[in-house]
């Protein structure tokens, strides 16, 4: 039986992680809200988000994959993809 979280569960948890790190409220953080262009998050904050997500889901993300972390939807899709690869 597959105990991996579904996409919506991943997205909820990713949003929680981003909110914990950035102290943003839910109204400021849409699924497609760009971290740099719209929220002006700096590279250290983005790295903290990437490392926290990577540890949370034990993904072993590459630096290149972490650099794609532009918004909640992108992160959630990548996590979902990686988890599906692990269970395949």
Compute the distance between CA of residue 46 and CA of residue 65 in angstroms, rounded to an integer: 12
CA triple 42-45-46, angle to 5 deg: 85
In the chain, what are the domain boundaries?
A: 7-87
What average pLDDT does range 42-58 have in this prediction? 96
Q: How far is CA 47 from CA 52, 64, 71, 80, in A?
A: 8, 12, 13, 19
Helix residue ranges, H only, the chain: 7-22, 43-57, 63-66, 72-87
Note the pLDDT tens digit of each residue in 59-73.
999 999 999 999 999
Q: At residue 57, what are phi and psi to the nearest 5 degrees?
A: -105, 0
Note the pLDDT tens digit of each residue in 10-39.
999 999 999 999 999 888 999 999 999 999
Which class in CATH covers the domain with range 7-87?
mainly alpha
């Amino acid at each position: 039986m597959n105990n991996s979280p579904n996409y919506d569960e991943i997205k909820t948890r990713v949003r929680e992680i981003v909110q914990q790190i950035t102290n943003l409220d839910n109204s400021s953080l849409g699924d497609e809200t760009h971290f740099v262009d719209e929220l002006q998050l700096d590279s250290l904050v983005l790295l903290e988000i990437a490392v926290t997500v990577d540890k949370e889901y034990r993904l072993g993300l590459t630096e290149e994959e972490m650099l794609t972390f532009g918004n909640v939807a992108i992160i959630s899709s990548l996590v979902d993809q990686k988890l599906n690869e692990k269970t395949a």
